Amino acid sequence: METFRRATPEDLTDIMRVIHEAQAFMRTLDIDQWQDGYPEPETLLGDIEIGQLYVFADGKRVHAVAALSLLPEPVYGDIEGAWITGEGAKYLTVHRMAVDNASRGGGLAGRMLAEARRVAEVNDCASIRVDTHTGNLAMRRFLEKNGFAHCGVVYYYVKKGDPARVAYEKVL
């Protein structure tokens, strides 16, 4: 059984394996998200350093990863649309979520969202926000199935590919 915990620097090699599997999976679906080398090890180490990168791991083997950030997401202030809770509300953002090939379809992504909710509630957040590539229909369906509402579109700087991301929010 996998345990939910904060990631450590020792997990980085295995986290990158999970990220590379997710990148390859998105490539098979013709989604250009994460096809420019993002997320880089430096980004993930930064997440680890500030305590916002979490994993589901069985021993040392990582099966799922996500950044659960309590920091304001700058691009969320310029949404084409509107957040349900408004601009001043405290929220948790889910970023860089990936599940390894062996665990895909086994419920770990849903468990990650449940843990994100727990972290958000402990930190008095009004909601959870997340964004995904416009072409990532599987993730969009997953979010909607899990009670997230479509709020609009945000734009990131990306080295290549579509900068638009569909933004979702779930009120707690």
Structure tokens at 139: 């993730």
Q: Residue 152 is part of a domain; what is its CATH number? A: 3.40.630.30
Confidence category of residue 47, pLDDT binned at 50, 70, 90: very high
Residue 144, domain extent: 3-171
pLDDT (average), residues 156-166: 86
Distance separating alpha carbons of residues 120 and 123, to the nearest angstrom: 5
Domain count, the chain: 1
Kindly report, residue by residue over 97-141, the tens digit of the pLDDT: 999 999 999 999 999 999 999 999 999 999 999 999 999 999 999
pTM (predicted TM-score): 0.94
**Number of C-beta neighbours around residue 82 at 10 A:** 12
Which is more confidently placed, 87 or 5? 5
Tell me: pLDDT of 154 over 80: yes
Tell me: pLDDT of 90 over 80: yes
Structure tokens at 138: 């599987």
Query: Quick one: angle between helices 41-49 and 12-28, nearest 10?
Result: 130
